[in-house]
């Protein structure tokens, strides 16, 4: 199954996934990222992990395939740390699906209301 998974990111980020059998694409700029992305589409990977930096560079291309069944694109932090892009994308998708931001760090409205009423 792991041959159906690819990872696009910096060399430092993707190298740790090679022993797991993940197809690792070390990219450093838009041109190399675009080439690797197109190769991943041609090879029909089921899952594509993309670091936040690469996802920002490939924003247009990722939007173009967002409704495709495959690949499932997962935006993850790189070795540099999180910029919050993955969580923002997930929050947006969940909000569209369920009609509310259930991933917010704030307390749910019902808990706030109950706390004010002394419940």
DSSP string, 12-72: HHHGGGGGGT-EEEE--SHHHHHHHHHHHHHHT-SEEEEEHHHHHHTHHHHHHHTTSSSPE
Q: Are 50 and 74 in contact (CB under 8 A)?
A: yes
Each domain of the chain, given as residue ranges in start order, spans: 2-81, 84-119
Q: What is the CATH number of domain 2-81?
A: 3.40.50.10580
> Which pTM value belongs to this model?
0.68
Q: Between residues 109 and 85, which one has the greater pLDDT?
A: 85
Instruction: Examine the pLDDT at 19 and tell me if it is beyond 70.
Output: yes
pLDDT mean over 55-60? 94
Band of residue 25 on the pLDDT scale cut at 50, 70, 90: very high
Residue among 74, 30, 27 nearest 50 (CA): 74
- Cα(74)–Cα(46) distance, integer angstroms: 11
């Amino acid at each position: 199954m792991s041959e159906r998974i690819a990872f696009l990111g910096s060399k430092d980020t993707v190298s740790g996934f090679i022993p797991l059998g993940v197809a690792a694409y070390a990219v450093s700029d838009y041109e190399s990222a675009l080439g690797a992305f197109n190769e991943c589409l041609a090879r029909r990977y089921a899952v594509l992990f993309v670091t936040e930096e690469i996802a920002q560079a490939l924003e247009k291309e990722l939007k173009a395939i967002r409704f495709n069944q495959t690949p499932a694109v997962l935006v993850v932090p790189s070795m540099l740390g999180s910029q919050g892009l993955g969580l923002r994308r997930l929050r947006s998708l969940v909000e569209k699906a369920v009609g509310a931001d259930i991933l917010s760090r704030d307390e749910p409205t019902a808990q706030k209301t109950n706390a004010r009423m002394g419940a």
